[in-house]
Amino acid sequence: MKYVDEFRDGELAATLAVAIAREADTGRDYAFMEFCGGHTHAISRYGVTDLLPANVRMIHGPGCPVCVLPVGRIDMAIGLALARPEVIICTYGDCLRVPASGGLSMLKAKARGADIRMVYSAADALALAQANLGREVVFFAIGFETTTPPTALVLRAAREQGLGNFSVICNHVLTPSAISSILESPEVRRLGTVPLDGFVGPAHVSTVIGSRPYEFFAEEYRKPVVIAGFEPLDVMQAIRMLIRQVNQGRAEVENEFSRAVSREGNLKAQALVAETFELRRSFEWRGLREVPYSALRIRPPFARWDAETRFDLTYQPVPDNKACECGAILRGVRRPTDCKLFGTVCTPENPMGSCMVSSEGACAAHYNYGRFRDVPLKVETMETST
């Protein structure tokens, strides 16, 4: 399959691994953060770290939207569903399993009688409202810049149709703000930090926002960014490009994923989002605490379809499980195996923290592909696991 099979070629991976080892300076260590959860998943699935030299370390970032969703936002949706029987809450499947307060999750609240349903897209939520005009349908929207345009589309469609029984709880967050927080927020001093030599920039997000927003990090923080696709050879090539930049003392934005990402991004999608959403002054991220101007809210012309306004919902921050290391893992300060709950109490079947819920979460990826076991992985795995 074009742009898939050729980016999973085991022989090419072995050749690229030799090239990376040759270019990596044995006299120094390299630490690169892959921000996107899709990259974390690919690195674990294909054993990319097993092909890297010992002095090249990959650090998982907060690039999984399910993982960074704070408990209080989930509590908000659960509380609405339990208090208002006429309300149908719909959201993506992974959100249903994220642990909330009182031992609940959306899935467990559904078992208690709340009408909470899984949908595959924002369009599915709109269709549900159209088919249930006697009920209030609330779409619990999450995601980075990738999933924001579809939410904007259904909000615009609801306004055009005068669909009065549809509304959205908006949890859309912004990638550049999270990167800034990792580099400079007060939480760095509290939780500690790791030396970062550069970032593997997200793929899907960048198809929307382009590569331009990352130029600030290269210029201001002197951190190179290489935008990469999600296939294993994409990631390995991006790592090689980052090593070259570090060795040469450069800090630039480079685009390995040029087959899908441009500098300007998708201008039509950006215009749609700007028409529908505006910046929130502050928003809580799991692991990052309050991050200023890091999320979106629905603009006043669409207030009729803003569930937080419509149902007078109030956000209350809730602390994470004290034994769970999700916050530190999302910052790259801890690894999944540093958490005492990992692989024992906390598994994908019984997640105690958000990092174990989504397949893109660092803990789930680490667990599902056996990265916590000291078992060497052969290059051929790339061919046999596809």
Give pLDDT, residue 185. Answer: 53
pLDDT at 384 exceeding the cut of 90: no
Task: Look up the pTM and report it.
Answer: 0.88
Average pLDDT for 55-76: 91
Average pLDDT for 199-204: 94
Average pLDDT for 128-153: 97
Q: For residue 260, give the 3-state DSSP assignment.
A: coil
> Where are the extended beta strands (E) located within 217-281?
225-227, 253-255, 277-279
Average pLDDT for 184-208: 75
Task: Give per-residue pLDDT as tens, 28-48.
Answer: 999 999 988 899 999 999 999
Give pLDDT, residue 191. Answer: 46
Tell me which residue has tokens 């300076």: 25
Give pLDDT, residue 357. Answer: 87
pLDDT category, 378, cuts 50, 70, 90?
Answer: very low
Give pLDDT, residue 2. Answer: 67
Q: What is the DSSP letter of 281?
A: S
Task: Give per-residue pLDDT as tens, 286-319.
Answer: 877 888 999 999 999 999 999 999 999 999 998 8
Residues shown for the chain: 386
Report in angstroms the alpha-carbon separations of 365 from 40, 58, 74: 7, 14, 23
pLDDT at 324 exceeding the cut of 50: yes
Least confident of 98-112, 125-139, 258-272, 361-375: 361-375
Four-residue CA torsion sign, 188, 192, 194, 200: negative
Phi and psi angles of residue 171, each rounded to the nearest 5 degrees, phi first: -125, 25
The residue among 189 and 363 whose pLDDT is bigger is 363
Q: Are 364 and 66 spatial neighbours (Cβ–Cβ below 8 Å)?
A: no
Mean pLDDT for the chain overall: 90
pLDDT at 383 exceeding the cut of 50: no
pLDDT category, 373, cuts 50, 70, 90?
Answer: low
pLDDT at 339 exceeding the cut of 70: yes
Identify the structural domains of the chain with CATH numbers, from first to last.
67-174+265-310 (3.40.50.11740)
Give pLDDT, residue 188. Answer: 45
Measured from the Cβ of residue 220, the count of other Cβ atoms closer than 10 Å reads 12
pLDDT category, 381, cuts 50, 70, 90?
Answer: very low
Give pLDDT, residue 6. Answer: 80
Give pLDDT, residue 372. Answer: 59
Average pLDDT for 6-13: 88
